[in-house]
Amino acid sequence: MATLKDVAQRAGVTVTTVSRMLNSRVRVSPETQARIQAAMQELGYYPNEMARSLARKNSSFIGLIVPSAQNYFFAELIHHIEAASESHGCKLLLCVSNQDAQKEQEYYQMLIGNKVMGVIMANYGQNFEAISRSKAPMVVFERPDNQQIPCAMTDDFQGGHLAGEHMIGKGCRHLLYLSGNAAKNNISKRRFDGLAAACAEHGLTQPALIEATWDEFVAMNYDASVSRIFQEYPNVDGVFTSNDIMAAGVVQYCRRHHISIPKKLKVVGYDDTSFAALCAMPLTTIHQPIEELARHAVECIIRRANGDAVPTTALFPVRLVERETT
């Protein structure tokens, strides 16, 4: 590959001049500019980003750590984060952690080693001290223990509450929350709390709770947990799930067991990925503003890289989308 030097030589100037033309807005005479342009054309020059990063002590990479890339929610998140990155001239380094805390750490190290502009973590393993040490800006999709870290999140409590209100309004009396693998984490807890609050407000008992496993998340098959619902809580008439895939699983189960939806059972999913509308029975679900979330996260990083102030926490509202399962 042609280097700056080659271009400079061909254009009859020094490397600095070429570099200046490319990077700084200091004037370069039009003639030299033309000569350099021509030389670059002829040689098919493209700067070595490695050298750039080294010299500048930072790259234009943005690291993204997600637990899965297959899962629809994260697939959309990835999609939008890529788009947002690209629109800011950044490149996306994608890391799939499989929810493995160890891997998360390793990936994080690797990203820091690659001098990324910032790291976005979509699943924030609990004890993550390394972060505070490094000074690479980081954004998290979860309320971090460390208040220094910017955070973009949606209003999970509201989501649970909306779902509860909706189902109760439709006549449900026995609610159940089918929680994701992250049952003990805050996201799940907040949603549950929202749901529970709605129950309390209407004088209903606490919602029941079933926790799916991580394996089910990976396999995108929640059959085991879904059937537990009906074994353990036969009189349930409203199910709220942690994601749309689970909701689809419930719908499928009911179809096989001739439980009519929405008459006998109402189902509210979560995320509102395109999948929610694609199931043969379109899901009522809580819509998460994934694109806004993604944009916000990327912007946090860009701003911090520019030395601008960054809001510590941003809370995005969610909304309920009514379709056919309620």
Is position 56 an interface residue for DNA (rule: CB under 7 A)?
yes
At 233 the three-state DSSP class reads coil
Interface residue list for a second copy (CB under 8 A): 1, 44, 46-51, 53-54, 59, 61, 68-70, 72, 75-76, 78-79, 82-83, 86, 91-96, 109-110, 112-115, 133-134, 220-221, 245, 248-249, 251-252, 255, 274-275, 277-282
CB of 24 to DNA, least distance (A): 6
Residue 140 tokens read as: 């998290």
Dist CA 315 CA 326 (whole Å)? 27
CB of 150 to DNA, least distance (A): 25
Is position 59 an interface residue for DNA (rule: CB under 7 A)?
no
Is position 25 an interface residue for DNA (rule: CB under 7 A)?
no
Q: Which does 228 bind (CB under 5 to 8 A by kind): a second copy, DNA, none?
A: none
Specify whether the CB–CB gap between 210 and 179 falls below 8 A.
yes
Is position 127 an interface residue for DNA (rule: CB under 7 A)?
no
Q: Which does 93 bind (CB under 5 to 8 A by kind): a second copy, DNA, none?
A: a second copy
Is position 12 an interface residue for DNA (rule: CB under 7 A)?
yes
**The only residue of 37, 38, 41, 48 in contact with DNA, by rule CB under 7 A:** 48
Non-local CB neighbours of 303 within 8 Å, separated by 6+ positions: 309, 310
At 144 the three-state DSSP class reads coil
Query: Interacting stretch for DNA, rule CB under 7 A, among 24-32, 62-70, 104-112, 283-291?
Result: 24-32
Dist CA 225 CA 251 (whole Å)? 13
Q: Which does 29 bind (CB under 5 to 8 A by kind): a second copy, DNA, none?
A: DNA
Is position 47 an interface residue for DNA (rule: CB under 7 A)?
yes
CB of 114 to a second copy, least distance (A): 5
Residue 74 tokens read as: 């994260």
Is position 147 an interface residue for DNA (rule: CB under 7 A)?
no
Identify the burial level of 186 via C-beta atoms within 10 angstroms of its C-beta, where 0-12 means exposed, 13-18 middle and 19 or more buried.
Answer: middle
Long-range pairs for 304-309: beta carbons < 8 A, 24 or more residues apart: 304/118, 304/137, 304/150, 305/58, 305/117, 305/118, 305/137
Is position 148 an interface residue for DNA (rule: CB under 7 A)?
no
CB of 74 to a second copy, least distance (A): 8
How many residues bind DNA (CB under 7 A)? The answer is 30
Is position 3 an interface residue for DNA (rule: CB under 7 A)?
yes
Dist CA 121 CA 300 (whole Å)? 13
CB of 269 to a second copy, least distance (A): 12
Closest CA to 187 of 237, 148, 144, 226: 144
Specify whether the CB–CB gap between 250 and 226 falls below 8 A.
yes
Can you list the positions of beta strands (E) in the chain? 61-66, 91-96, 118-121, 138-140, 151-154, 175-179, 208-211, 238-241, 266-271, 284-287, 313-316, 319-321
CB of 302 to a second copy, least distance (A): 18
Residues that bind DNA (CB under 7 A): 1, 3-5, 12-17, 19-20, 22-24, 26-29, 31-32, 45, 47-48, 51-52, 54-57
